[in-house]
Amino acid sequence: MDALPVTEETGLPFSSKVKGVMHACGHDSHVAMLLGAAKIIAKHRKDLKQNVKFLFQPAEEDGGDGGALPMIRDGALEDPHVDHVFGIHVMSNSPSGTVAIRSGPIMAAPDLFKIDIIGKGGHGSEPNEAIDPIFIGAQVINAIYGIRARFMNQVNPLVISVCMVSSGTKDNIIPEKMHMEGTIRTLDETMRAEVKKKMGEVVPKVIESFGAKGSISFKENAYPVTYNDPASTEKVKDILKMIPGLKIIDIGPIMGGEDVSRFMEKAPGTYYFLGTRNEQKNLTYPNHSSKFAADEDILKYGALSHVLIAFNFP
Ligand SMILES: [Zn+2]
Ligand SMILES: [Zn+2]
């Protein structure tokens, strides 16, 4: 489930058999925990007071179109209707035996933007005869970072990062075009709309003011904010306290994005992280590293948390 294009170097006996592909984000452990929970819940199903569905969410790593949306379209949240959604992700920077949780926004909405600048190519020695898209691109990057610093509410988290820039072929040729892409992370829909509006106004003006043509576009239908419903989250925290040996840590929001937000937009619920870092076992590599491995001792906590929620929520 949801492997990444990374060649595994964990040396584990259950290492990936497919070269160049591995479970570098721990989605194999998510499957194991939910299957474990399903086994226990099925065994005690006569004691259940409500229906329980198991959502194995694929393609979280897909970055935009994800797996939750097609599952919802295919009816995963209907018949019987789903009222609450709960989910887990393993987290390498929290110690094994901890669960990291928060009420309200826990992960950001990740918006993708693309900018194209079309200038006029020429000789590197005669920039005055050309319209240099690289110079203009530099002004655009400054302007974008200035939007965060000078136009947005400073107490509301916002990340804008230009992460990809491409232009040019040779040291003495001014190219005709420049292309860049980046990400915007916000924790509420007002800020999200505001920053995109401002970027849409400023970027084309900066490009045009230097004589080039250009455009900015945003990926439509990017993931929403992953929002932990406060009432559900308080109940989940109480339920998690029933697990001996598990420590609950209240965390701040994370500016990463999560496809599970699609489910939680439809049904309130709680998403939490299971710490998997274990220095004694040398399990310290971050998610997405070729040496990432989850501490298997956490699987019982994850599976048990699913089981306890199924039987005790609300
Ligand atoms: Zn990942
Ligand atoms: Zn992941």
Largest CA distance in the chain: 81
**CA–centroid distance, residue 121 to ligand 1 (Å):** 40
**CA–centroid distance, residue 260 to ligand 2 (Å):** 10
One-letter amino acid for residue 174 of the chain: I
Q: How many Å apart are CA 226 and CA 5, to the nearest integer?
A: 25
**CA–centroid distance, residue 62 to ligand 1 (Å):** 9
**CA–centroid distance, residue 148 to ligand 2 (Å):** 28
Encoded tokens for 61? 């790593």
**CA–centroid distance, residue 37 to ligand 1 (Å):** 22
Catalytic residue among 61, 181, 265, 296: 296
Q: Which domains does the chain have, with CATH numbers?
A: 27-107+225-312 (3.40.630.10), 109-218 (3.30.70.360)
State yes or no: is 9 an active-site residue.
no
Encoded tokens for 161? 């990062």
Q: How many CA atoms lie within 13 A of 102 on its CB side?
A: 11
Catalytic residue among 60, 176, 223, 301: 223
The number of the ligand nearest the C-alpha atom of 30 reads: 2
Looking at residue 65, what is its pLDDT? 75
Encoded tokens for 39? 């086994």
The number of the ligand nearest the C-alpha atom of 288 reads: 1
Q: How far is CA 33 from the centre of its chain?
A: 21
The number of the ligand nearest the C-alpha atom of 60 reads: 2
Place of tokens 């609950």: 248
Looking at residue 56, what is its pLDDT? 94
State yes or no: is 223 an active-site residue.
yes
Looking at residue 64, what is its pLDDT? 63
Q: How many CA atoms lie within 13 A of 136 on its CB side?
A: 34
**CA–centroid distance, residue 30 to ligand 2 (Å):** 9
**CA–centroid distance, residue 287 to ligand 1 (Å):** 6
Q: In tens digits, what is the pLDDT along the chain, a chain of 314 residues?
A: 889 999 999 999 999 999 999 999 999 999 999 999 999 999 999 999 999 999 998 888 876 678 899 999 999 999 999 999 999 999 999 999 999 999 999 999 999 999 999 999 999 999 999 999 999 999 999 999 999 999 999 999 999 999 999 999 999 999 999 999 999 999 999 999 999 999 999 999 999 999 999 999 999 888 899 999 999 999 999 999 999 999 999 999 999 999 999 999 999 999 999 999 999 999 999 999 999 999 999 999 999 999 999 999 98
How many angstroms separate the Cα of 151 from the Cα of each of 79, 146, 206, 284?
46, 8, 16, 39
Collect residues with CB below 5 Å from ion ligand 2: 25
Tens of pLDDT, residue by residue over 232-286, are: 999 999 999 999 999 999 999 999 999 999 999 999 999 999 999 999 999 999 9
